[in-house]
Amino acid sequence: MEGVLPSYREFAAPPGLGPFVACLWTSHDGEVRVLPDACVDVVFGGGRLVVAGPATTATIAPATPGQRRVGLRFRVGAAGAALGVSAAELLDLGLPLTELWGRAGQRLEDRVAAAPTTEARIAVLARGVADRLPPPEAADREVRRAAAVLTYGGRAGDARRAAHLSERQLRRRFDQAVGYGPATLARVQRFQRFLAQAQRTPAVPLARLAADAGYADQAHLARECRRLAGLAPTALLAAGATPAGERPEALAPAATPAAA
């Protein structure tokens, strides 16, 4: 999940959550355009805990007056195992955590709501999710390797070879762990590379940003921005959109054969 205003902040996951959790975060209490970022988040806002599933298009999160949102972001490909459900069942949805965790989800929601500060809500959310996580070996390491390849601009065939899986096996495992197939993940990660490059080099022309991110040309970038974000590239950047999801530097170590 991503807020397009600078009051969005990320925090490192506590020790022990690393195999599944990319970060925790806070965002302002206003309306937010949420952009596809290949991740699944558990978000507290408006008094409720909601699972924001893997997105293929932008959505608008309503304001939560007087209370900053807090969230926990799962690593790419880790949400299925962490939540105990196929990530494909969460595709483009925002579901109350209680629908997945029942009474345990309600108890966690009540504890987060009762926390007196934003910092306390983050800590309660992190502890509550940690209590439900499976053993680290439950994370799909083959999918993580494949996701790393796609994050850095590799093709589906490269990802399949990195994971040592057939095309059918890879698609089935992606549905479970990521929520959609390798081709969609590649599109979302290319879009995130564009946002990251634009943030690093804001004066660079769009045509160069498009090429650096892996688009065929500026027109290709424009089409993909409208499909994924609902805005043209210039309008999206003017709104202050920034990259989100799991940072490549966080993804790469877990995706190496030595770490697997």
Question: Domain with 219 in it: what CATH number?
Answer: 1.10.10.60
Residue 98 has pLDDT above 50, yes or no: yes
Structural domain boundaries enclosing 205: 141-255
Residue 232's alpha-carbon distances to 53, 183, 228, 239, in angstroms, are 24, 22, 10, 11
Question: Residue 1 falls within a domain, yes or no?
Answer: no
Helices and strands, counts by H and E, the chain:
12, 8
| Predicted local confidence at residue 246, as pLDDT | 80
7 falls in which pLDDT band (50, 70, 90)? confident
Identify whether residues 162 and 51 lie together within a single domain: no
Number of domains in the chain: 2
Question: What is the pLDDT at residue 161?
Answer: 92
Mean pLDDT of the chain: 90
Q: Which of 104, 137, 170 is the last residue of a domain?
A: 137
In angstroms, the CA 26 to CA 8 distance is 6
Indicate whether 260 belongs to any domain: no
Same domain, 166 and 97: no
Residues 175-183, mean pLDDT to the nearest whole number: 95
- The strand pairing partners of 25, in sequence order, are 10, 71
**120 and 164 co-located in one domain:** no
State the average pLDDT over residues 124-142: 94
Helix (H) or strand (E) holding 122: helix 118-130
Confidence of residue 248 (pLDDT cuts 50, 70, 90): low
pLDDT at 1 (0 to 100) = 44
157 and 130 in one domain? Answer: no
Residues 72 and 120 in one domain: yes
Percent of the chain with pLDDT over 90: 78
Mean pLDDT of 107-126: 96
pLDDT > 80? residue 247? no
The helix (run of H) or strand (run of E) holding residue 176 is helix 167-177
Same domain, 25 and 106: yes
Both 77 and 178 in one domain: the answer is: no
Same domain, 115 and 219: no
Please, which residues have CB within 8 angstroms of residue 86's CB and are 6 or more apart in sequence?
80, 175, 176, 179
Task: Supply the pLDDT for residue 8.
Answer: 83
Same domain for 90 and 209, yes or no, is no
Give per-residue pLDDT as tens, 228-239.
999 999 999 999
pLDDT in tens, 8-49: 889 999 988 989 999 999 998 889 899 999 999 999 999 999
Which pLDDT score is estimated for 259? Answer: 30
Cα dihedral 253→25→151→164 (10° resolution): 50
My answer on whether 23 and 100 are in the same domain is yes
